[in-house]
Amino acid sequence: MVNIAFVFPGQGAQYVGMGKEFYDNFPCAKAVFEEANEILGFDLARLCFEGPEEDLKRTLNSQLAIFTTSIASWKVIQENFNLSPMLVAGLSLGEYTALVVAQSLSFEQGLVLVQKRAQFMEEACQERASGMVSIIDLTQEEVEEISRKGGAEIANLNCPGQIVVSAESKNLKKVIDLVKQKKGKAIILKTNGGFHSSLMNSAAKKLEKELEKTEISPAKIPIVSNFSVNLETSSEEIKRNLVNQINHRTCWQGCVQLMLKRDVDTFLEIGPGKVLSKLLTRIAPSASGYNVERVKDLEKLKEWR
């Protein structure tokens, strides 16, 4: 018997062709994409399957695409396998997918919120040019020091030896130089803004107003929040965490460690890419992580039925 957590990817996991195998082989997945097309008023499925990549990686499009593909993948699992997760969690954007799985939001509510969230984040990016840098092989204390000196903020505590910072564009070179002085490695990420930092304050305020109008139900499966790094089921706490997640750091490493303490031994990453499975190998090498994004990936799940 395995103790499973369902985990869902965030922005950056997108790629052209994602979701197409499930769309072609499972009516339940096709129905998710068709519902998304109808709600949004444009062909999201075609963008996912055919690109172009330049359009797909835009914040406004990538968040919608990853969310919809992840829900379609989950539907395939839900309809074909009797798997009940102990906990659910998602990295940043992936938390919205987790909320749908936990029955706090309907798919339509989640899709509309994700669209608004992405729009607000893009608007914040336009207000202040900014970016993100992944820092490799330095401690959190060293990165905190670099952030203070370089005018940056820690945005993501992903795993041991990998921390992401956000900064205005004018400060990015200074941050990279400081990392090199510490003998670390710095990689500029392909994002169009400094997410999960005070650079997103305007987006957080707009999202808060949007959430005030949204009815969120108590979670039927506990959700591990990126912001609080705690198990959440309360509607009010869920709303508060979604707002704070926008302009404060996320702590995926802490989320995984909490799930392990709650006896989770298997992490099923549902959606495009293998980002979370790779992070798991750095956080907890002895834990089992498995990704489901293609038809062949379903074979493993037969062992758990």
User: Cβ distance 159 to 282 under 8 Å?
Assistant: yes
Calculate the alpha carbon distances from 19 to 29, 39, 66, 175, 244 in Å: 8, 18, 9, 37, 30
- Active centre residues (catalytic): 92, 196
CA angle 285, 290, 296 (to 5 degrees): 145
Nearby residues of 292 by Cβ (< 8 Å), 6 or more positions away? 73, 76, 77, 268, 269, 270, 298, 301
Main-chain phi, psi angles of 266, to 5 degrees: -135, 130
**What's the confidence (pLDDT) of residue 59?**
93
**What's the confidence (pLDDT) of residue 305?**
58
Calculate the alpha carbon distances from 147 to 3, 104, 137 in Å: 38, 36, 15
Nearby residues of 141 by Cβ (< 8 Å), 6 or more positions away? none
Please give the domain boundaries of the chain with CATH numbers for all domains: 4-126+198-304 (3.40.366.10), 130-188 (3.30.70.250)
The single-letter code of the amino acid at 46 is: R
pLDDT along the chain (305 residues), means of 10: 92 96 98 98 98 94 97 97 95 98 98 98 95 96 98 97 97 97 94 94 98 97 97 98 98 98 96 96 94 93 75
The single-letter code of the amino acid at 222 is: P
**What's the confidence (pLDDT) of residue 108?**
98
Q: How far apart are CA 260 and CA 254, in angstroms?
A: 10
User: Cβ distance 61 to 48 under 8 Å?
Assistant: no
Q: How far apart are CA 104 and CA 215, in angstroms?
A: 9
Q: Is the pTM of this model over 0.85?
A: yes
Q: How far apart are CA 83 and CA 41, in angstroms?
A: 33
